[in-house]
Structure 1
Amino acid sequence: MHCVTLTKGVPDFREGQVSFDEDGHLERGDTPTVMNPNDEPALRAALQTKIRNGGTTSVMSMGPPGYGDVLREAMESVYADDLYLLSDREMAAADTWATAITVATGLKRLEPDLVFAGFKTADGETGHTGPQTAWCLDWPLVTHVVALDVDADEGVLRAKRLVEGDVDEIETVEAPLPAFVVADPEFDPSYRKAAHRLKHKDLREETRARAQNHEDHLTVWDHEDLNLDPDFIGLDGSPTIVEGVDPIPRAPAERDATMVDPSDEDAMGDVVEELTQYAGGD
């Protein structure tokens, strides 16, 4: 079984150094980048699938050459065997649709059994890229997945997904492989068998060594490698128009702090009194 997890580098908003060009497009080369935190449920789901079912796991991303650290972090999280980066100038400034076309083309070359994606990115927060990529592949799409199992012999994915309504409900669904999974933040991996827990430990140690030289396991494809028409990818292939952006202010470098000795009962009483006004309830 071959699983691919999609991840993305997003601006590190904590640094307050997000740069845009005059047209409102993000200047990724001038902006600190971290792995999208909302991809973590997808990484956990892919890791569970690998441990339970064996096979190989890959990580794929689209972005500039500087995404190496993002991919290394993802490799360590999902215990990936290899990494794929879709990258060149023709892919730059893509919206979710142009990104989906590019990523789907890369996935077709790998022919995986399962693809995992996060529910949204921390920068765009549209939640479009995963479903749009599944549409491009014409694969079954299962979203808001909180638990899953794979029957490789039958070629079937069985998943539990969260349904938001008046009350939270869990829906159980089946889908034939290959399939596309969007993991919910509530996804909680389960390793009930001792053999799974032991394999988890072995894979962790093996991957740590591999991640130290992650460049040796990285394949970079540009638009020519994927036979993509520049008119349909990147900025030229993006129907989205950015009307405007607002700068994110840098957080204060220094903040006032009052030191309190925990053994000072009067001082601790003042702390409780100060915090009580912000507490909920009575």
Structure 2
Amino acid sequence: MRSIVLTKGVPDFSEGAVSFDEDGHLERGKTPTVMNPNDEVALQAALQTTVRHGGHVSGMSMGPPGYGEVLQEAMASVYTDDSYLLSDRELAASDTWATAITLSAGLETYQEEVADIDLVFAGFKTADGETGQTGPQTCWAMEWPIVTHVIALDIDPDERTLRAKRLVEGDIDEVETVEAPLPCFVVTDPEFEPTYRTASHRLTHKRLRAETEERAANHDAHLTTWDHADLNLDPDYIGLDGSPTIVSSVDPIPKAPSEREATMIDPDEDDMGDVLEEMHPFAAGAGD
């Protein structure tokens, strides 16, 4: 079973990690990049498929060279076998459509140069764009069947079919079971949770984790980078030039109000003994 997981780097929106300029706009260069949280769910679905049926899982991302670290994170945490980064300046400023065109070219190049693909997994949406369009658009370009909002799945290797349970329009109270032929595109729902029911599955999971530790530590040896020329892409149809989306305006991200009161201390003017006395109950544990 050969699977590809599409993943993306997004700004780390955790408290204290995001950097804004004076106008409240996100400063990407000063904000750490992490793997999109929903993509980890897709990676877990791919790992479950590998544990149950064997095979190979590759991570694929489109972005700047720094996204190699995101792919390394995918390898370390969810045991991908290798990584593919689609990266050069011609791809910069892509909207979801231009991104989908590039990713589909990456998948086609993978099939031509590496191996046939059985499954492509994608996360529900990204934490920075929130559109949920890239996965379905990439699938449309590949002309494959797609199953979205997947919360559970399994494969029949002999029949080459996917059977999945999916939420109906995101409603957690309504679930339907569907089948699709391979190759197939899977968009996982955040409610997806991998299951390893047998001792054999759990032992395989443990073995894969051990095998990955050494591989992830030497990630560059398992990383392949393709630029637009490698993918045979026309610059007029990718990046900013190939992006039909027009951004009319950008609103600053409002800063969250402080939830704690702070007392400013000047060590040259304030009595530090009083400060220590005030802090002592908290250091020792209230009520002790």
The alignment's TM-score, normalised by the length of structure 2, stands at: 0.84
Equivalent residue, structure 1, for 2:124? 119
Residues 125 and 133 in structure 2, CA contact (< 8 A), matched pair in contact too: yes
Deviations 1:62-104 (A, max 9, x none): 0000112111111123211100000000000000000000001
**1:223 and 2:260 aligned:** no
Superposed, which structure 2 residues align to 1:92-131 within 5 Å?
92-111=92-111, 112-131=117-136
Deviation at 1:224, TM superposition (A): 0.1
Deviations 1:209-246 (A, max 9, x none): 11001010000000000000001000000000112223
CA distance in 1, matches of 2:56, 2:170: 37
> Which region of structure 1 is more displaced relative to structure 2, 178-187 or 244-253?
244-253
Matched letter for residue 204 of structure 1: R
RMSD after superposition: 2.4
Larger C-alpha radius of gyration, 1 or 2? Answer: 2
CA distance in 2, matches of 1:194, 1:169: 31
Residues 11 and 18 in structure 1, CA contact (< 8 A), matched pair in contact too: no
**1:203 and 2:208 aligned:** yes
1:166–1:174 CA distance, 2 compared to 1 (3 A): closer
1:110–1:165 CA distance, 2 compared to 1 (3 A): closer
Deviation at 1:46, TM superposition (A): 0.5
Deviation at 1:121, TM superposition (A): 0.2
Deviations 1:238-277 (A, max 9, x none): 000112223336668995478654437xxxxxxxxxxxxx
Residues 16 and 248 in structure 1, CA contact (< 8 A), matched pair in contact too: no
**1:263 and 2:287 aligned:** yes
**1:232 and 2:256 aligned:** no
Structure 1 gaps, min length 5: 265-282
Matched letter for residue 108 of structure 2: K
CA distance in 2, matches of 1:174, 1:62: 30
CA distance in 2, matches of 1:182, 1:127: 10
The runs of at least 4 consecutive aligned structure 1 residues that moved more than 3 Å come to 26-31, 164-167, 247-264
CA distance in 1, matches of 2:45, 2:172: 25
Equivalent residue, structure 2, for 1:277? none
**1:174 and 2:179 aligned:** yes
Equivalent residue, structure 2, for 1:51? 51
Equivalent residue, structure 1, for 2:196? 191
Residues 17 and 250 in structure 1, CA contact (< 8 A), matched pair in contact too: no
CA distance in 2, matches of 1:241, 1:221: 27
Residue among 140, 144, 147 paired with 2:149: 144
Structure 2 gaps, min length 5: 112-116, 263-278
1:178–1:11 CA distance, 2 compared to 1 (3 A): same
